[in-house]
Amino acid sequence: MSTTVSPAPDNSGGVPVFRYSLASATGKVTPGGWGKQVTAAELPISQDIAGVLMRLEPGAVRELHWHAIAAEWGYVVEGQVRVTLFDPEQRISMEDVPAGDVFSFPRGYGHVIQNSGTVPATFILVFDNGHFSEFATFSSTDWLAHTPRNVLAETLGTPESSLAGLPAGEVYIVPGPVPPPLAETRPATAQLLAANSCAYRFSQQAPERYAGGTIAIASQLQFPLSSTITGAVMTIDPGAIREPHWHPNASEWFYVLAGTLQVTVFASQGHARTDQFAPGDVCYVPRGLGHYLENTGDAEVRLLLAFNSGTYEQIGLSGWLAANPRALVATNFGLPETTVDAFPGGTEYIAARR
């Protein structure tokens, strides 16, 4: 059954391109896995948020590293990863994160990601700076390769000769064995952060149900460590519409996990752009711009969304109009009050096909 969708507005100007096919990007490939990124360099409109699609083979390690200009938030799509965070108080948080759950690393904190399962792990990373580059991070192998051996020997209390096997440059992703169970891996002498400090069991959170779909939101309220990024998983039924809305406090970034949809962005002064999205595509909508999403296929749309704020805010058209006097709304739009009386009495959020 085909779905009738809205006609596309004029795309002649005013709204820059806001779609990028992340899944089809070339990226950086190693024997242990690969990473693909979308930043402001690939998608110029995306000034506030960058994203990475990454895959690790069983046991492979996204090496010890840190990010100087961005916090990191991750969602596991397939498989399982083990994440370890090291903070300025010399404490660690180490957790296994299965599919559907999330993790976070504050800006500048040391961390590492390893596939702790027996099948490949795929996950999406979001950074709260559009100019962040996954391929320009502070990697431990790169750092040590450019540090004199005598300095390393003095620091680590070992003869220089024992460091002869260090990599000559950045490794990025290191192949390795699948690690033992978490209880056997946590260092006995390490000072631990609170349980699950760097991970959140998002898959166990019940979504909110609307007439045309669902949404589960993980803001700083649910995941305290993630103070600059809110994540969400949304489903949109066939023919349903994530109603026209905007976000007052954050830009919106999403990755299409499943389904096909049409997105329209409005930028004032008659400027609007519509584009079509499929699995593997990324969308970015700047803070404050009006937009809506339509499921154009016969299957459920499933999206991973991220916002560059620890607090989630949205203003939807239906709730906004419902909160105003009917007579005022009728006057505003030049409509009969009888027509306005038929509008929803509250927020639709995701409206079902009628």
> Catalytic amino acids?
62, 65, 67, 72, 111, 134
CA max distance for the chain = 86
Instruction: Please name the amino acid found at residue 133.
Output: S
Tokens read off for 154 = 């003095």
Residue with tokens 């699948």: 178
> Under a CB-based contact definition with an 8 Å cutoff, are residues 95 and 196 in contact?
yes
Nearest Cα to 305, choosing from 247, 220, 231? 231
Q: Is 34:28 a contact under the CB 8 Å cutoff?
A: yes
Q: How far apart are CA 156 and CA 174, in angstroms?
A: 22
DSSP-derived pairing of the beta strands 272-277 and 72-78: unpaired
Tell me the chain's radius of gyration from C-alpha atoms: 23
CB neighbour class for 1 (10 Å; exposed up to 12, middle 13-18, buried from 19): exposed
Q: Please report, for residues 84, 187, 287, 310, the alpha-carbon distance to residue 224 in angstroms, rounded to integers and kept in the order given.
A: 17, 24, 23, 9
Are the beta carbons of 133 and 82 closer than 8 angstroms? no
DSSP bridge partners of 62: 113, 173
